[in-house]
Each structure stands twice: as structure tokens, then as C-alpha cells.
């Protein structure tokens, strides 16, 4: 017998678990994975995609917390949906992190740098995800505050959680222990890995810039000792080259000497990724390197499986709790989540196209300049041929 005084017992909030909210996060994470796989040449676009995914998920968790501790409360079904879709973003972060070393080597250590905003978004998202998950699973039967006040019987007792085809009650002790452990351990590891990645990329970037500075100086002024440039290695004439000459000679007359001392440019880029690893000696042991070779494919495949499983879990969770029709209704609040998705679907591709066209224009201008110099037949340091013209006295002597 239903003696409830609350007419909305257990009713879902479509602004939290609605179809548009779910689809926006599914699409955001999928676009982020595509950016990681096929747009590794553009670090800014990749970080923008990752940042958008984190911000969308952060907004969803904050909205859920406001509803929970506000007057209306939050239904348990809504909370479970939020934990699964935000876990999808954590799976995305795990996939990106597990492939990070290969990604950095592919685009060059000088370009792989985690920005402050991305690191802050990742840490904030992990903290909110961990805290909200623990709050939900700590006591599922009494979760909801205003959503279950005056409800008899308790609507949370009828909620089920979908696990690999099985439907279990959220109050199941084993399920609760596993969920709380997952959020606590996963959150802690996520925060530590984000901080470690941030420090690693900053060190790599700093080291690369130091190498580039030294090589650039040597190209202009020659090798340095403690007392200044080596006298016998000073370039003749001016110590600096005009911009056009320096560009055409790739650094001026000291280019070959600088490369001989510092090594080819490609070696500089490879060395730039090493110092951060060498700060931790055990990372370079043979055993750890072998584990790393196996970890990358296993983590990548496992992350993709987890990503697909969480989507199936979220949709199955809604179905088994008979909330499909309710959550499929579109509201104004759900449209706001789609606005964030426009950045990834429209503005980021437009930026990619613009950058590509700009790069082509710059390359075309450089090619025109090279062709112009080649047609003139004289380079910046090319000397005009010297022809010997005999003097009149010399001609008379030869005639005699």
C-alpha cells in the first residue's frame, strides 16, 4: 500500500539523466578518442577536446550535487546514471594516459605539454567523480534527501543496477564494497597520474627549450667556453646573419658546427623526452621496459572495452528501471549540455581547416621564395665569378 505524501517519489530528473545529456557525453568522449588517434599533429585541438569532455562531466556532477542538497533532492536512478556516464570520461582519461608515451614520441616532446587548464580540469573532475560516487554508494537505500522524503515504501528499494546482464540491488554488500573501492582507488590513482603527467611534460618541454636555445646560440655565435666564444671557431665577419640569410641557410654559417657539437635536430627531440624519465631510475630498468611494451596495447584495448561497457551499462540501467520513456523526453536543461558539444563538432573542425589552409599558404610562400632565389642563380653567400682581365702592358708584352 502506498502511503506516500510525496507525489514525485523516485521520479527522475531529465536535466540530469536525460537523453541529450547522455548523448553529449558519449559524443564528447568519442570525439576525444578520434582526436587522439587521427589528429596527433595538433596538440591544441587534442587538449581542447579533452578539456571539453572534462568540463561537460564536471557540470553534470555539480548539477547533481545541487539537486541532491537542494530542496527537490535527487533520485537514485539519476545518481547511478551520473556515476556511469562520468566514469566514461574517466575511462577516456585512462586510455589517453596509457597511450601517452607513444603519443608524445609521435608528435615530438617539444609539442607534448599538458596545460595548466587541462590539468586543473582533470584533477577537479577526478575529485568530484570520486566524492559523488562514494556519496551515492555509501548508503544507496537512503540516498536522495528530498526525493524520498515522505515516500512509503522507500522507492530506492525497487531500484536495480545492471551488471553484465544481471540485475542487482544497489544495497548488495559486495556490489557496494566494489563500487566504493573503485571510486576511492581510481580517484586517488587518477589524481596522482595527472600530477605526474603534468610534471613530466613540463620537464620535457623545459629541457627541449634549453637544448634549442643552446643550439640557436651556437648557430649564431659559435661554441662557448667558460670565457666566451672559442677564438679559433669564431665565424668570420658579423656574428649574426640577416633574417633572410639565416632562414635560407638554416641558421647561418655556424649551422654545421652546431649540429656537429649538439647532434642532429631529430636527436635533440628524442633527448628532450628522456630527462624526465631519468629522474626516476627504476623506469629505465629492463623489467619495467618489458612491462611497458605489454602495458600499452593491453591498457588501450582494455580501456576501449571499458568505454563500450559503460555505455551499455548506462542504457541498460535506464531500461531495467523502466525509465526509458521518461528520460527520452527533451528539455531546455538538456539543450545546454548540447551547446558544449558544438565546440567539438563545429568550431574545432573549423579551426582545423583554417590552420591547414594557413599552413599551406605559408609553405607556398616559402616555395615561391626558394624558386625566386634559384632563378636568380645567386645565393646569399655565393660570390660572383672573378675573370682575369690582362692590362695593356701585359698585352704588349705578349705580342712581342
Condensed to tens digits (0 to 9), the pLDDT of residues 155-174 reads: 888 899 999 888 899 989 99
Cell of 229: 666564444
What is the 8-class DSSP label of residue 161? E
From 66-70, 303-307, 340-344, the region with the lowest mean pLDDT: 340-344
Cα–Cα nearest to 130, from 177, 76, 185, 52:
185
Residue with grid cell 587522439, as numbered in its chain: 36
Q: Whole-angstrom Cα distance, residue 94 to residue 193?
A: 9
Question: Residue 222: exposed, middle, or buried by beta-carbon count in 10 A (0-12, 13-18, 19+)?
Answer: buried
User: Given its phi and psi angles, is residue 74 left (phi above 0), alpha (psi -120 to 50 degrees) or beta?
Assistant: beta
Q: Whole-angstrom Cα distance, residue 370 to residue 264?
A: 23
Angle in degrees, CA 176, 179, 184, rounded to 5: 120
Mean pLDDT of 316-324: 91
Residue 352: pLDDT band (50, 70, 90) is low
pLDDT in tens, 38-65: 665 566 667 777 888 888 889 899 989 9
| Mean pLDDT computed over every residue of the chain | 73
Domain ranges, ordered by start, for the chain = 14-211+284-360
Alpha helices in 18-115 (DSSP H): 19-38, 43-69, 76-98, 100-107
Sign of the dihedral through C-alpha 254, 257, 259, 261:
negative
Q: Whole-angstrom Cα distance, residue 207 to residue 366?
A: 30
Amino acid at each position: 500500500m502506498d502511503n506516500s505524501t510525496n507525489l514525485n517519489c523516485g521520479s527522475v530528473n531529465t536535466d540530469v539523466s536525460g537523453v541529450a545529456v547522455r548523448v553529449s557525453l558519449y559524443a564528447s568522449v568519442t570525439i576525444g578518442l578520434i582526436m587522439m588517434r587521427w589528429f596527433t599533429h595538433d596538440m591544441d585541438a587534442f587538449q581542447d577536446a579533452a578539456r571539453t569532455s572534462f568540463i561537460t562531466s564536471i557540470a553534470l556532477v555539480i548539477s547533481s550535487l545541487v539537486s541532491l542538497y537542494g530542496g527537490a533532492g535527487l533520485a537514485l536512478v539519476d545518481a547511478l546514471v551520473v556515476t556511469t556516464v562520468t566514469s566514461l570520461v574517466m575511462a577516456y582519461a585512462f586510455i589517453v594516459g596509457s597511450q601517452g608515451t607513444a603519443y608524445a614520441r609521435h608528435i615530438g616532446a617539444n609539442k607534448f605539454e599538458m596545460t595548466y587548464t587541462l590539468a586543473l580540469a582533470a584533477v577537479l573532475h577526478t575529485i568530484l567523480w570520486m566524492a559523488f560516487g562514494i556519496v551515492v554508494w555509501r548508503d544507496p537505500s537512503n540516498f536522495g534527501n528530498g526525493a524520498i522524503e515522505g515516500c512509503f515504501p522507500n522507492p530506492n528499494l525497487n531500484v536495480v543496477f545492471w551488471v553484465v546482464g544481471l540485475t542487482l540491488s544497489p544495497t548488495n554488500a559486495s556490489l557496494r564494497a566494489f563500487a566504493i573501492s573503485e571510486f576511492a582507488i581510481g580517484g586517488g590513482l587518477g589524481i596522482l597520474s595527472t600530477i605526474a603527467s603534468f610534471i613530466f611534460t613540463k620537464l620535457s618541454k623545459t629541457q627541449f627549450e634549453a637544448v634549442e636555445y643552446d643550439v640557436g646560440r651556437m648557430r649564431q655565435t659559435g661554441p662557448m667556453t667558460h670565457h666566451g666564444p672559442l677564438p679559433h671557431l669564431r665565424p668570420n665577419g658579423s656574428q649574426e646573419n640577416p633574417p633572410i640569410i639565416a632562414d635560407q641557410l638554416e641558421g647561418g654559417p655556424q649551422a654545421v658546427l652546431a649540429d656537429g657539437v649538439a647532434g642532429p635536430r631529430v636527436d635533440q627531440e628524442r633527448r628532450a623526452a628522456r630527462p624526465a624519465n631519468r629522474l626516476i631510475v627504476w623506469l629505465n630498468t629492463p623489467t619495467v621496459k618489458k612491462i611497458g611494451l605489454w602495458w600499452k596495447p593491453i591498457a588501450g584495448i582494455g580501456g576501449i572495452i571499458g568505454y563500450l561497457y559503460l555505455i551499455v551499462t548506462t542504457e541498460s540501467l535506464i531500461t531495467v528501471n523502466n525509465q526509458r520513456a521518461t528520460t527520452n523526453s527533451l528539455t531546455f536543461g538538456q539543450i545546454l549540455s548540447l551547446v558544449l558539444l558544438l565546440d567539438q563538432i563545429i568550431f574545432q573542425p573549423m579551426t582545423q581547416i583554417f590552420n591547414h589552409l594557413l599552413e599551406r599558404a605559408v609553405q607556398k610562400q616559402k616555395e615561391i621564395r626558394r624558386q625566386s632565389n634559384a632563378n636568380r642563380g645567386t645565393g646569399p653567400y655565393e660570390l660572383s665569378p672573378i675573370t682575369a682581365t690582362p692590362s695593356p702592358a701585359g698585352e704588349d708584352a705578349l705580342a712581342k
